[in-house]
Amino acid sequence: MATSHKPIIALVGNPNSGKSSLFNHLTGLNQKVGNFPGVTVEKKSGFSQIDGLGNTEIIDLPGIYSIYPRSLDEQIVAEVLLNHNEPTSPQKIVVVVDATNMKRGLLLLTQIIDLGLPTVLAINMMDLAAKAGISYDFIKLSQKLGVDVIPINARKGEGIEQLKKAIATCDNKKNQTIYQLPQEASEPILVVRQHLGLDNNYEAYQFLQQPKSLDFLSKENQKWLDEVRQRSAIHSGKFQGAETILRYSYIQDLLQSATLKPADDSWKKSSFKLDRILTHKVWGYLIFFVVLFLVFQAVFAWASYPMDFIDGLFADFGNWLSATLPDGALTKLLAEGIVPGLGGIVMFVPQIAILFAFISILEESGYMARVVFLMDKIMRKFGLNGKSVVPLLSGMACAIPAIMATRTIDNWKERTITILVTPLMSCSARIPIFTILIALIVPDTTALYFFNLQGLALMGLYLLGFFAALVSAYIMKKIIRVQERSFLMMELPTYRLPKASNVGLTLVEKTKSFVLEAGKIILAISVVLWVLASYGPSDKLEKAEEYVMQETANMRLTEQGLQDRIAAYKLENSYAGVIGKAIEPVIKPLGYDWKIGIALLTSFAAREVFVGTMATIYSIGSVDADDQQTIKSRMQSEINAETGEPRFTPAVGLSLLVFYTFAMQCMSTIAVVYRETKGWKWPMIQLAYMTTLAYVSAFIVFQIFS
């Protein structure tokens, strides 16, 4: 064993086995998210001090049922467990099993034991087992399985010290084999072991069973393994089924002899009762909507205070920088590019944190599985999955945490479709745009006695986004063809009270990874946009002040008014302005001029920038987006030079509203889709289809209403 490296321990177990609780207990806040070498999937790891091993790296692998993969998550685990040649491969395994659900957990354990790695069995949730009246003979279990067996209660931290001791001392000297491999496989296994230098039969057998899913193998070796497999007629399905049956019968015998007191289901009674209400055809949906309402309230109302605070903080800091540092390009880049860019990332933290706290509470309690259960049938009609509900609804707050929440969807196609349509749900950043444009074109009167017309328009836009998401999902369901069967097969765990420290650590981990990963890209892009908006092809920018002074010499403007005019003139002559003019022919059919074009471009980074840009470009008072009354009156008095009519006719307003409902005007979302799909393909497809949808719809709306 490689003793020169830091010891690495992997935690393996079923979903809901309390693996993450154990991980949190072992590592505390000392966690990080990185990537597995060669595998582009996240690795959650942390460090723990273990006597005899020193500072030990603990890897929390995704929850799995078997070493035979069926989802992306499971494939990763199979790869990590089967690849011993990396310095980052785990040397020892801790298998976590739910004490109230031993059989299914032991299936995985027997597979791991057969792989020959030093293994410890941690039997978790001993508190529940005690409540259920179950007890096991741990000594007997340990003797029969040939591994250390440690009862723990990860939520309370009980048994952790014993577990650490067992981790330090465990080895694979017993070299137990539980499953006798089929006779037909013995010869090819020998061939594979010699060819690839493997020292374990079951490992070689897994190489033969699933060469295609082991990405660490070279293409040559994969092909070679596939040939050996074909020649020896090892059909994965048939052998795998027989293996599962044999393993379960071994487990049956094992538990027969080691169970002192079996469980009856009486301890689950309250959980069953709860299910009668929570999955009821009326109450179930009603309660779900109340929960949703609460989450929305929290994300919209609670998050707005810290968000405003952060926004203000960064604005002040930027101003302070430009006032304190010597004037120059670097100061400007810092004060107008990097600091606001960083602010744009950090501003999302409260929303992300609150949303993830709720999602984590719903997941920990077991309620999320019921929501999936309630919604699956409906969502499936649209190519989505019951598990898509959470991201879609979160998307009404902010698409970024929403897209991060799609990781729970096992099916690749359903997950990808969910990611693609989530940004169509109207997020909170669209609210300022909607508000100002609606105020511009919809009269503030009541219809049908009590409905406010402007309120109705706003609701209409939300519904428009929602239906567009469903229709797009339906179309993508028809277009995207993959050889992957969709299935649900999900445990409905017994309800439990969520644990605060688990919720807290999830929240910290998700927020941290968002800020670090998505942040890098957002930052880079905001700097580029700043450069485009601040520099121009000619020297007009430097002479802006002079020119505007001349122009307005006899207008007796206030200092503020003058500054605003200068800013507007600078923007017009910047690269962004030049590009705005260049794209005018393209956006003219939608009813927009080059000024709106600049707003479209700058708001490409983040749609909420639209209002700010409008303010700058029409040079109204200081660029204060809250001051919508002034922006509105300015926009109202803007004249279309060609027709002599107001610029913002109802047709233009409607066209813009529809455009912003559909357009993917958010760099942060693109960044997060890139991160979640591990490449540029899907974010680019998404950008293209949403922009096309926005353009075509805005065109149709403008042509109909003008």
Partner 1 sequence: MSQTAKSVASMKPGEMGIIAGFTDDFLATKLMEMGCLPGASVRFNFAAPFGDPVCISVLGYELSLRLDEASTISILN
Summarize as ranges the residues that interact with partner 1 (CB under 8 A).
Answer: 65-66, 68, 70, 100-101, 103-104, 107, 237-238, 240-241, 244-245, 248, 263, 265, 272, 275-276, 279-281, 284-285, 369, 372-374, 376-378, 386, 485, 487-494
CB of 134 to partner 1, least distance (A): 10
Using the minimum distance from each CB to partner 1, give the nearer residue, 105 or 401: 105
The one-letter code for the residue type at 71 is S
Using the minimum distance from each CB to partner 1, give the nearer residue, 21 or 71: 71
CB of 343 to partner 1, least distance (A): 44
Q: Which of 204, 202, 222, 221 is nearest to 213 (CA)?
A: 222
- Give the single-character DSSP code of 181: P
- Residue 123 and residue 251 in contact, taking contact as beta carbons nearer than 8 Å: no
Measured distance CA(659)–CA(455) in Å, rounded: 19
Using the minimum distance from each CB to partner 1, give the nearer residue, 223 or 238: 238
Q: What is the 3-state secondary structure (H, E, C) of 420-473?
A: HHHHHCCCHHHHHHHHHHHHHHCCCCEECCCEEHHHHHHHHHHHHHHHHHHHHH
CB of 153 to partner 1, least distance (A): 19
Measured distance CA(620)–CA(611) in Å, rounded: 11
CB of 467 to partner 1, least distance (A): 20
Using the minimum distance from each CB to partner 1, give the nearer residue, 192 or 251: 251
CB of 245 to partner 1, least distance (A): 6
Using the minimum distance from each CB to partner 1, give the nearer residue, 345 or 470: 470
Measured distance CA(173)–CA(338) in Å, rounded: 57
Using the minimum distance from each CB to partner 1, give the nearer residue, 281 or 556: 281
- Give the single-character DSSP code of 15: T
- Residue 45 and residue 34 in contact, taking contact as beta carbons nearer than 8 Å: yes
Using the minimum distance from each CB to partner 1, give the nearer residue, 231 or 280: 280
Helix (H, G, I), strand (E, B) or coil at 177: coil
CB of 474 to partner 1, least distance (A): 18
- Give the single-character DSSP code of 497: P
Torsion angle, CA of 483/484/486/492, rounded to 10 degrees? 170
Buried b (16+ CB within 10 A) or exposed e, 140-176: ebbebbebbbbbbbbbeeebbeebbbbbbebebeeee
Helices (H), 233-338: 236-258, 269-278, 283-297, 303-324, 329-332
Task: Provide the β-strand partners of residue 56.
Answer: 48
- Structure token digits, residue 27: 């590592």
Q: Which of 158, 523, 107, 494 is nearest to 340 (CA)?
A: 523
CB of 103 to partner 1, least distance (A): 5
Using the minimum distance from each CB to partner 1, give the nearer residue, 16 or 677: 16
Give the number of other CB atoms < 10 A from CB of residue 585: 10
Q: Which of 180, 70, 72, 58 is nearest to 122 (CA)?
A: 58
Using the minimum distance from each CB to partner 1, give the nearer residue, 287 or 620: 287
The one-letter code for the residue type at 473 is A
- Residue 64 and residue 76 in contact, taking contact as beta carbons nearer than 8 Å: no
Using the minimum distance from each CB to partner 1, give the nearer residue, 373 or 462: 373
CB of 281 to partner 1, least distance (A): 4
Give the number of other CB atoms < 10 A from CB of residue 264: 10
Q: What is the 3-state secondary structure (H, E, C) of 555-570?
A: CCCCHHHHHHHHHHHH
- Structure token digits, residue 7: 């010891």
Using the minimum distance from each CB to partner 1, give the nearer residue, 60 or 98: 98
- Residue 660 and residue 433 in contact, taking contact as beta carbons nearer than 8 Å: yes
CB of 389 to partner 1, least distance (A): 13
Element spanning 77, H or E = helix 72-82
Residues 6 or more apart whose CB falls under 8 angstroms from that of 238 comprise none
CB of 180 to partner 1, least distance (A): 18
Using the minimum distance from each CB to partner 1, give the nearer residue, 275 or 517: 275
Using the minimum distance from each CB to partner 1, give the nearer residue, 489 or 555: 489
CB of 264 to partner 1, least distance (A): 10
- Structure token digits, residue 394: 């979160």
The one-letter code for the residue type at 33 is V
CB of 127 to partner 1, least distance (A): 17
Using the minimum distance from each CB to partner 1, give the nearer residue, 253 or 551: 253
Using the minimum distance from each CB to partner 1, give the nearer residue, 494 or 616: 494
CB of 518 to partner 1, least distance (A): 33
CB of 107 to partner 1, least distance (A): 7
- Residue 522 and residue 604 in contact, taking contact as beta carbons nearer than 8 Å: no
CB of 487 to partner 1, least distance (A): 6
Q: Backbone phi, then psi, for 39, in 5-degree steps?
A: -115, 125
Q: Which of 14, 11, 21 is nearest to 152 (CA)?
A: 21
